[in-house]
Amino acid sequence: MVNSKNILSSVEEKCVERGIRLTPRRRQVLDVLVQEEAALSAYEIAQRCNADSDNPMPAMSVYRILDFLQEQQFVHRLETANKYISCSHLSCAHEHLQPQFLICNSCRRVEEIDLSSSAVAAMASAASAAGFASISSQLEVNGLCDRCVHANA
Amino acid sequence: MVNSKNILSSVEEKCVERGIRLTPRRRQVLDVLVQEEAALSAYEIAQRCNADSDNPMPAMSVYRILDFLQEQQFVHRLETANKYISCSHLSCAHEHLQPQFLICNSCRRVEEIDLSSSAVAAMASAASAAGFASISSQLEVNGLCDRCVHANA
DNA sequence: TAAGATACGATACACTGTATCATTTAGTTG
DNA sequence: CAACTAAATGATACAGTGTATCGTATCTTA
Ligand SMILES: [Zn+2]
Ligand SMILES: [Zn+2]
Ligand SMILES: [Zn+2]
Ligand SMILES: [Zn+2]
């Protein structure tokens, strides 16, 4: 169980710094994502909000709130799966431009990584050979996490 | 303009070898993709089929046919965009396991590449550092192709 | 030709995301 | 505090995408 209270107060501070509002609705959506290791779709988020609250969360609100949270880099969107995951740097000062993700094909959990410069250089070299001048991408790589490998060994 | 006739007869041969059928419908869908440098959605494919034919192509047929063409590796599906593109190795004997793609953000054209082993090794190393034992992925990298870079210079 | 398998046509439907407008809430100013 | 303004939310309708399902047609094979 993640200590979402500490994480959310860090986010609260950042919002104050940036002069933006972390409303109860936004906080609720972010909390759902912070407590989840796997990525969730917008409708899955709405369902979880409605599970532990009497005030129904419409899916449309989820989309709006996700837009806001993405702009602030509090959550990221996995383009391949079209799902959302909280940033793993909510409680630190780490800055990232484009995040990269590893997605476990077995347990679906997602790890946010920073690719080494050598890996990026190797990608850029392959792109150049194929007639592409520049690449800038959020890489999403599927695989198997250690936990699942050991569990199935 | 691509010489789709030669490409399609190569595909025809492969179908004979594999004991499968390249029906007129399947040929029609494949032809649309062969003649297009950019990736197309299922509904876009249906529209193009209907543009130059009086026999309407239902979207549902397109999906079924795309399933077939994907199984045979005649076309690939871009997971990020949810669009389809013909394999660039239709008329040769090149074998690939997981293809990788470069997608131009300006003109949308797609290049199918084979990542160098060093690039793959660099990716695997980053994954290992993040607690992922194995990766196996169809990488899709956005960028700018040389043509577009020169055109906008 | 008859039986079975494969491919296709057609309809309905679920899911996802957007557009739009009304309403409420939160800040701002006099 | 009252009035104003902007931001956020509620609510409805709708378009696009993909699937499920059933019936029909075509091909294969004995
Ligand atoms: Zn992040
Ligand atoms: Zn796992
Ligand atoms: Zn290919
Ligand atoms: Zn281009």
pLDDT by residue, tens only, chain A of 153 residues = 778 889 999 999 999 999 999 999 999 999 999 999 999 999 999 999 999 788 899 999 999 999 999 999 999 999 989 999 999 999 999 888 889 999 999 999 999 998 877 788 888 888 999 999 988 778 899 999 999 999 877
What domains are there in chain A, each with its CATH number?
Answer: 4-86 (1.10.10.10), 98-152 (3.30.1490.190)
- Which residues are within 8 A (CB) of A5 and not within 5 positions of it... i.e. 6 or more apart? none
Name the pTM for this structure. Answer: 0.90
The answer to whether A126 faces chain B, any CB pair under 8 Å, is yes
Residue whose entry in the numeric block shows the structure tokens 């630190």: A92
Q: Which residue has the tokens 């990221």?
A: A76
Q: How far is the centre of ligand 2, averaged over its atoms, from the C-alpha of A40 (Å)?
A: 16
The reported pLDDT for the residue numbered B122 is: 84
Helix (H) or strand (E) holding A143: strand A140-145
pLDDT reported for residue B81:
92
Residue B81 CA to residue A7 CA, distance in Å, equals: 33
Measured between CB atoms, does B117 come within 8 Å of chain A? no
Give the bridge partners for A78, in sequence order.
Answer: A83
* Residues on chain B touching A121 (C-beta within 8 angstroms): 122
Asked if A115 has any chain B CB less than 8 Å from its own CB, the reply is yes
Contacts of A18 by beta carbon, 8 Å cutoff, 6+ apart: A72
* Segment (H or E) for A78: strand A75-78
Instruction: Please name the residue that has the structure tokens 């997602």.
Output: A110
Give the integer Cα–Cα distance in Å for B16 and A127: 35
- CA B94 – ligand 3 centroid, Å: 8
Which residue is closest to D9 in terms of CA–C1' distance?
A: A61
